């Protein structure tokens, strides 16, 4: 009986409900240390172009660091070129999380169904801390272009 009395005021039709803004969990992974290049002769290659990161942050200038992209668990990473291009080699099969990092801010992006010996070409946009894939093209590295 007590439960009914407590629940009743919460269901009062006279209460106003103001929905709160959706919250998203903060991405906490980051890339540290020098870029690590995987083996070009085996494994999958993920390359592409990222927009939304500041391309003028090349090298170390005070507290600014060059934009980077990488895969955290295997430790594969590279510096993003001034044109936004990047290439990651030796990517393991399965599902990987790409991490895009610029000036201390990181965001992640899941790439699923990574096969053996594939070439995956992505166009990625990073906007307000959210990375989205705009295009995803895949083929076997053994296939001629």
DSSP letters for the chain: -HHHHHHHHHT-TT----PPPP--PPP-----SS-----SSSSEEEEEEEESS-TT--S-BTTB---EEEETTTTEEEEPPTTSEEEEEEEPSEEEEEEEEETTEEEEEEEEEE-TTEEEEEEEEEETTEEEEEEEEEEETTS--
> What pLDDT was estimated at residue 96?
93
> What pLDDT was estimated at residue 74?
74
**pTM for this predicted structure:** 0.66
Straight-line distance from the first to the last Cα atom of the chain, in angstroms, rounded to the nearest whole number: 73
111 in any annotated domain: yes
Q: Residue 112 is part of a domain; what is its CATH number?
A: 2.60.40.1120
90 in any annotated domain: yes
Number of domains in the chain: 1
116 in any annotated domain: yes
Over residues 68-83, mean pLDDT? 88
Burial of 120 (0-12, 13-18, 19+ CB in 10 A): buried
36 in any annotated domain: yes
127 in any annotated domain: yes
What pLDDT band is residue 4 in, cutting at 50, 70 and 90?
very low
What pLDDT band is residue 7 in, cutting at 50, 70 and 90?
very low
> What pLDDT was estimated at residue 115?
94
What pLDDT band is residue 29 in, cutting at 50, 70 and 90?
low
Report the percent of the chain where pLDDT is more than 90.
Answer: 41
6 in any annotated domain: no
Asked if 118 contacts 105 with a C-beta cutoff of 8 angstroms, the reply is no
Please give the residue range of the domain that contains residue 50: 29-138
85 in any annotated domain: yes
pLDDT at 26 over 60: no
> What pLDDT was estimated at residue 15?
43
> What pLDDT was estimated at residue 35?
54
Asked if 85 contacts 47 with a C-beta cutoff of 8 angstroms, the reply is yes
What pLDDT band is residue 37 in, cutting at 50, 70 and 90?
low
17 in any annotated domain: no
> What pLDDT was estimated at residue 43?
83
């Amino acid at each position: 009986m007590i439960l009914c009395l407590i629940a009743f005021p919460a269901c009062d039709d006279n209460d106003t409900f103001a929905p709160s803004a959706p919250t998203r969990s903060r991405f906490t992974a980051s890339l540290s240390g020098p870029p690590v290049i995987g083996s070009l002769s085996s494994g999958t290659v993920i390359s592409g172009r990222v927009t939304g990161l500041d391309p003028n942050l090349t090298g170390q200038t005070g507290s600014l660091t060059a934009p980077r992209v990488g895969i955290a668990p295997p430790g594969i990473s590279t510096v993003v070129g001034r044109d936004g291009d990047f290439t990651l080699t030796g990517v393991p099969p399965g599902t990987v999380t790409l991490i895009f990092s610029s000036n201390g801010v990181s965001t992640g992006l899941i790439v699923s169904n990574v096969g053996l010996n594939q070439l995956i070409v992505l166009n990625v946009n990073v906007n307000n801390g959210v990375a989205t894939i705009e295009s995803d093209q895949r083929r076997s590295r053994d296939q001629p272009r």
